[in-house]
Amino acid sequence: MLLEQYYIECLSHASYLIGDRTTGRAVVVDPRRDIDEYLTDADRHGLTIEGVINTHFHADFVSGHLELLDATGAWIGFGESAHTDYPIRRLRHGQHLSLGDVDLEILATPGHTWESISVLVRTHPDATPTAVLTGDSLFIGDVGRPDLANLGDSSTTDLARAMYRTLHDTLLTLPDTVTVMPAHGAGSSCGKNLSSELTSTIGEQRRTNPAAQPMSEDDFVAMITDGQPAAPTYFSADVALNKTDRARFDPHHRIPEITTDRLRTELTAGVRVLDTRTPDDFAAGHLRGSVNVGFDGRFAETGGMVADIGDRILLITYPGDEQAAALRLARIGSDGAAGYLTVDTTGTFPTDLTDLVTTAPRTTVTELNRLRAADEITVLDIRNPGEREFGVIPGAVHIPLPHLRDHLDRIPRDRPLVVHCAGGWRSSVAASLLRAEGLDHVSDLIGGYDAWTTDRHHT
């Protein structure tokens, strides 16, 4: 048996290739849109990809099932209650899919979504299970959240109760030795306590996962519905894309470098400019109206928070980052990257753009404390709800970054605004977005809440 995990940090996403080396038959589980790695590895191991299994309708990225269909003719499988506008195999609980000796058993595991399934893997039909691919049902350290955009007519509580039964009646009944292989890891917005570990075992999760500890169903529901990270607005768009016969990803497409004249034309037409450099380099000089989404962070997911799927986008990057940045956006279905302009680490823009270049104000903790004491500013906290359990800056207005564009009317405009997150990366995103939306006198807190608490404890 071949069981290969593919993990991309930017989306904290894991996908899998499962194959039987004897028969040469294989399936891919939860693929991303850029499928070359699966095809290359299948060919290297002498495997033919004959099926694609999606454990559910993903919200945080566009799945690559249609690309694999076009490349290999593979069938596409979803849980029994799934509905799409392209042909699928509806996979029912207890159904076995044979790759030869390798046996895949479908487990219905609703809770994150109603159509959610897990895939139990055996080296042959009578063997003790080797692994279970749990999708977004059981994570390492958590379970999938029940409150995302694909709820349909159900309530969050309905799905949370289904997750309780999934966990205790299905997944935790598996042998302790079974390897747990989920679809996401730490940093994903699909849960709140995800571990940085990429695999675990049922026994380890039974011992250490807070959601798997003995508790009543009501206590479980309260636990998993409280403190979830704010869901990016693009999630609902990606769910819709994953249900439809949408445009395919073109692995050969390269976005062009743009001329300064073209850039001015695009700016006049209202293009969204994403500057992928670090917050420090962005603050030192950037194009007026651009939004700072650093390539060194959760670029794709955050890009989906500040630009709608379908928006026309121009990228400002360090040399060599431009095509990878466009690819990461394409993974969430944002195919509108129309061109790029590179800026080296000295921050030098072309001289004929000098009139468009500006700097970004940033605030130190010392300055923040002085301004707060004088009651001269409004502080905006853009962290997720669960992060605020560890403490807040008194008086701060709270709007999570994923919801910021939809709640601009809640932001006081009568005095300067200082934006903070935990460490300073997301606050640069938020502050630049607010300035791009027309708010004046907006700065971000260097070092974020972490720096503020460190200073407070040292003074």
| Residues tagged active-site | 421
* Cβ–Cβ < 8 Å for 122, 128: yes
Q: Tell me, what amino acid is at 297?
A: G
**Token reading at 4:** 């290969």
**Token reading at 146:** 């029940």
Nearest CA among 399, 416, 417, 420 for reference residue 408: 399
Q: Name every residue whose Cβ is closer than 8 Å to that of residue 21 and which is 6 or more positions away in sequence.
A: 1, 2, 45, 46, 47
**Facing residues of 179 across strands?**
131, 201
**Token reading at 203:** 């026994």
Classify 51 as helix, strand or coil: strand
Nearest CA among 239, 307, 298 for reference residue 271: 307
CA dist 163 and 165 (Å) reads: 5
* Cβ–Cβ < 8 Å for 333, 238: yes
CA dist 196 and 199 (Å) reads: 9
* Cβ–Cβ < 8 Å for 192, 146: no
* Cβ–Cβ < 8 Å for 368, 341: no
**Facing residues of 105 across strands?**
96, 120
Q: Within 200-257, where are the H helices?
A: 202-208, 217-225, 234-243
CA dist 126 and 122 (Å) reads: 8
CA dist 148 and 155 (Å) reads: 10
